[in-house]
Amino acid sequence: MIRVELPAHLRTLARVDVEVTLDVRGEVTQRTVLDALEASYPVLRGTIRDHVTQRRRPFLRFFACEEDLSHESPDAALPPAVASGREPFLVIGALAGG
């Protein structure tokens, strides 16, 4: 199972705890993880990726295994530790604003 940590506002919106677990079929990439996340929690559609372009929203970042993966291709394989469920995939709200 893939583990995903969400920022506080999205946890409230999706009515979930800090971490959710997802069953991702096939290769584990940003796209397949987020597709699975949105399929399980449709209320999150449009909040992490733009509805139309499917691009990451500008003030969000994707971290895993102490690396910033935000600028990686959405179709690049995520680290094996994420794919195995040993490490979570982190969706982070940028530390800016009021």
Partner 1 sequence: MSGVRVLVGTRKGAFILTADGKRDRWDVSGPHFGGWEIYHLKGSPADQNRLYASQGTGWFGQIIQRSNDGGRTWEAVDNKFVYDGAAGTHQWYDGTPHPWEFKRVWHLEPSLSDPDTVYAGVEDAAMFRTTDGGKSWRELPGLRNHGTGSKWQPGAGGLCLHTILIDPQNPRRIFIAISAAGAFRTDDEGATWKPINQGLRSQQIPDPTAEVGHCVHRIALHRSRPNTLFMQKHWDVMRSDDGGDSWREVSGNLPTDFGFPIDVHAHEPETIYVVPIKSDSEHYPPEGKLRVYRSRTGGHEWEPLTKGLPQQDCYVNVLRDAMSVDSLDACGIYFGTTGGQVYGSTDGGDSWKPIAEHLPAVLSVEAQTL
Positions in the binding site for partner 1 (CB under 8 A)? 7-10, 13, 43, 45-48, 50-52, 57, 59-60, 93-94, 97
Integer-rounded Cα Rg, in Å, for the chain is: 12
Nearest 5 degrees, angle CA 53-CA 58-CA 62?
Answer: 95
User: With contact defined as beta carbons under 8 Å apart, do 20 and 41 qualify?
Assistant: yes
Question: Which of residues 70 and 84 has its CB atom nearest to partner 1 in the complex?
Answer: 70
Q: In whole angstroms, how close is the CB of 96 to partner 1 at the nearest point?
A: 9
State which residue, 3 or 49, has the beta carbon closest to partner 1.
Answer: 49
Nearest distance, CB of residue 65 and partner 1, angstroms? 23
Distance in Å from the first CA to the final CA of the chain: 35
b/e per residue 26-37 (b: at least 16 CB within 10 A): eebbbebbbbbb
Identity of the residue, 28 or 33, whose beta carbon is nearer to partner 1 in the bound complex: 33
Minimal distance, residue 56 CB to partner 1, in Å = 11
Closest approach of Cβ 83 to partner 1, in Å?
26
